[in-house]
Structure 1
Amino acid sequence: MSNEVASLSARYRFACALAEAGGKLAHTFYLQRETLQPDHKGSDLQDVVSVADREVESFFRARIADAFPEDGFLGEESGSADAGKRMLWVVDPIDGTSCFLNGLHTWCVSLALVADGEPVIGVVYDPNHHELFHALKGHGAWLNNGALQPHAAATVAAGVMGVGTSHRVSSADFLPFLDALLQHGGMFVRNGSGALMSAWAAAGRLIGYYEPHMNPWDALPGIVLMREAGGHTNDYLADAGIARGNPVLIASKHLYPQLKQWVKQPLP
C-alpha cells in the first residue's frame, strides 16, 4: 500500500468515527432542543444557527487538528483555516438546523475531505436512525456495512426525486425543474437537509437530488457518495465551487442526462 493510499484510508476511518461521535454529541443537544436559543444568519429568517451547531463544529475542528494538524479546515459556522492546504476537511455540524430545532428527524452531520482539489471522502451520519453513509474514492459507497447503488428507475415516473432550494437563488432558478419533473410524471420530496437527501439518492431511496445552489459543506459528501455508488454528478468544484458554492445534480448514469436538460442554469 502506497503512503498516499494509506494516508487517505486513515482519514477515511477517522472521518467515519468522527461523524458518529459528532452525531452523538449533536443528538444530546437535540434531546434538549427546547432550551436552545437559535439565532438567525443575517436577514434570512430561514437560515438559523444554535449553540449546538457551534459546539459540534468546535468538536470536529479540535479533533481534526489533533489527528491531522497538517490539514486545512472549512466549516459552515467557523469558516476556514488553512483552506489552501492539499488536504481540506469540509464540515457541516448539523445540516437541517431548522428541522433539528423543530423536532424533526431529518437532520444529519456531514463531512468531506478534498485532496488536491478533488473530493475523495464523503460521510453523512443520521444519529436518529443510526445510519452512517460513507465513501472513499475507489472503494465504493456504503450504508453502515451494506453497499450502495443508485435507484434503478428507467424514467422519473418510477421513483421520487429529492430537491432543495434556498433564498440564495430566485424561484425562477428552481421552478422550471419542478415543472418539467411533474410534466414527465415525476414526484419530489424536500426534507430540509440537502446532505441527507443526497445520501438517500446514493442509496437508491430517491432517484436523484437537485438543488440550484449548495454550499460545499452540504454538497460534497453526497457528490462522493453518488460517484462511488456508481452514479453521476456535475463537477461541483469547478468555477471556484469551494468558495462560492454551485448547483448540484446527482442521479444514476441513466437518469442524469434527462434531469440535466431541465436545469435552467449551466451546470459545471
Structure 2
Amino acid sequence: MHPDIDALVPLLKTTAQEEILPRFARAERSFKPDGSIVTEVDFAVQNRLALALKQRYPQFELLGEEMDEARQRALLDRAGPGLWCLDPLDGTSNFAAGLPFFCISLALLRGGEPVLGLIYDPVRDECFAAEKGRGAWLNGQPLDGHGGGLPLRHGLAMVDFKRLDPALAAELALHPPYSSHRYLGSGALEWCWLAAGRFHAYLHGGQKLWDYAAGSLILAEAGGCATSLDGAPILATALKPTSVVAAANPGLFGEWRAFLAPRTARPT
C-alpha cells in the first residue's frame, strides 16, 4: 500500500498542534553529545508518529533523529520495501528559544532516495509535500517557485556559515556573489522556502539525512537543483553529513556552482 499524502497531512498537523505548539518556548532543553539541543517534544513527536505510522503502514520501519546511531545504521542497512525518515522537530534550538521557525519533516525512502516527502510548519500552518515524479505542493497548491527569474547577483541566499571552510565563509561575507544572505536555523524548512522562491540560492556545510530527505525531494519536484559542494548527488543512503549547494532553478544553480567550484576544488 502506497502512503497517501492527503492522509498523512492531518496526522502531522494534529501531532504538531497537540505536542509542539502548546510547549513552544516552554520545553526543558538538554544537550546531546555533539552539543545540539534536544527537548522532550522531540521524543514525544517521534514516539507518537512512530506508533501512528506503524499502525497505518506496518510494512515500513521508521528511522528517527532521536534514535541511537546503531539503530539508525541497522535500519538503513535493511530498508526493505521502504523506510520512513523522520525529524520530529527540525529547528529545536529555535523552538526552545522562542523563535517561530521549526517544523516536522517526514520522508519515505526507497532504494536510497526519497519518493514521498512532507514538511509541516505549525506556526504558519504551511504543509509542503512532494511525490517523486508527480510534483510538489504547498497546502495542496502546486509549488513552482523558480526563483522569480533573478540572476544570482540580485538574489537572496540562505547560507550556513558555521560549517563552511573558513576561507570560503570569509569570502562570502566580504565579497558575496548575491545581493544579501540569511540563515534561519531549520534545514528542512529552508529547503521548502527555496522551493517556494522565498530565497534563491542555498549553501550548507553539513546536513544529516533527516534534514534533507523530504526537503530535497520537494525542491527537485518544484524545479530546483541541488548537489554537494563537490558536485555529487545528494543521496539518502548514509548517516554521514553532506554539504548542500542548491538553487531555485537550473539557471541560478549554474551561476552558484560556477562561483563555488573553483573555491572548493581540492588541490591536486
Q: Counterpart amino acid of 1:103?
A: G
**Percent identity of equivalent pairs:** 29
Q: Could you state the TM-score of these two structures normalised by the residue count of structure 2? A: 0.84
Tell me the matched-pair count.
Answer: 250
Match of 2:91 among 87, 90, 96: 96
Mapped to 2, the partners of 1:230 and 1:206 lie a distance apart of: 14
**Does the residue aligned with 2:106 lie in a helix, a strand or coil?**
strand
Q: Counterpart amino acid of 1:106?
A: F
Shift of 1:174: 5.4
Shift in CA distance, 43/92, structure 1 to aligned 2, threshold 3 Å: closer
Q: Is 1:141 the equivalent of 2:136?
A: yes
Tell me which residue corresponds to 1:237.
Answer: 235
- Say whether the 8 Å CA contact 1:154–1:254 is kept in structure 2: no
Please, which runs of 5 or more residues in structure 2 have no aligned partner?
A: 228-232
Mapped to 1, the partners of 2:60 and 2:109 lie a distance apart of: 10
Q: Could you state the TM-score of these two structures normalised by the residue count of structure 1? A: 0.84
- Say whether the 8 Å CA contact 2:117–2:215 is kept in structure 1: yes
Mapped to 1, the partners of 2:119 and 2:240 lie a distance apart of: 22
Mapped to 2, the partners of 1:48 and 1:88 lie a distance apart of: 25
Output one character per residue of 1:186-207: Cα deviation in whole Å (capped at 9) or x when no partner: 2111111111111000001110
- Say whether the 8 Å CA contact 1:223–1:250 is kept in structure 2: no
Mapped to 2, the partners of 1:77 and 1:221 lie a distance apart of: 17
Tell me which residue corresponds to 2:219.
Answer: 226
Tell me which residue corresponds to 2:158.
Answer: 162
Mapped to 2, the partners of 1:174 and 1:132 lie a distance apart of: 34
Tell me which residue corresponds to 1:54.
Answer: 43
Tell me which residue corresponds to 1:19.
Answer: 12
- Say whether the 8 Å CA contact 1:110–1:221 is kept in structure 2: yes
**Does the residue aligned with 1:63 lie in a helix, a strand or coil?**
helix
Mapped to 2, the partners of 1:190 and 1:217 lie a distance apart of: 19
Please, which runs of 5 or more residues in structure 1 have no aligned partner?
A: 1-6
Shift in CA distance, 248/18, structure 1 to aligned 2, threshold 3 Å: farther
**Does the residue aligned with 1:119 lie in a helix, a strand or coil?**
strand
Shift of 1:179: 4.3
Tell me which residue corresponds to 1:74.
Answer: 63
Q: Counterpart amino acid of 1:259?
A: W
Shift of 1:171: 4.3
Shift of 1:177: 6.7
Mapped to 1, the partners of 2:203 and 2:168 lie a distance apart of: 9
Q: Is 1:217 the equivalent of 2:206?
A: no
Kindly report which structure 2 residues correspond to 1:28-47, keeping only aligned pairs within 5 A, or say none.
Answer: 28-30=22-24, 33-34=25-26, 36-42=27-33, 44=35, 47=36
**Does the residue aligned with 2:147 lie in a helix, a strand or coil?**
coil
Shift of 1:110: 0.8
Shift of 1:243: 1.9
- Say whether the 8 Å CA contact 1:92–1:217 is kept in structure 2: yes
CA RMSD of aligned residues (A): 2.3
Tell me which residue corresponds to 1:124.
Answer: 119
Mapped to 1, the partners of 2:224 and 2:102 lie a distance apart of: 23
Mapped to 1, the partners of 2:124 and 2:179 lie a distance apart of: 27
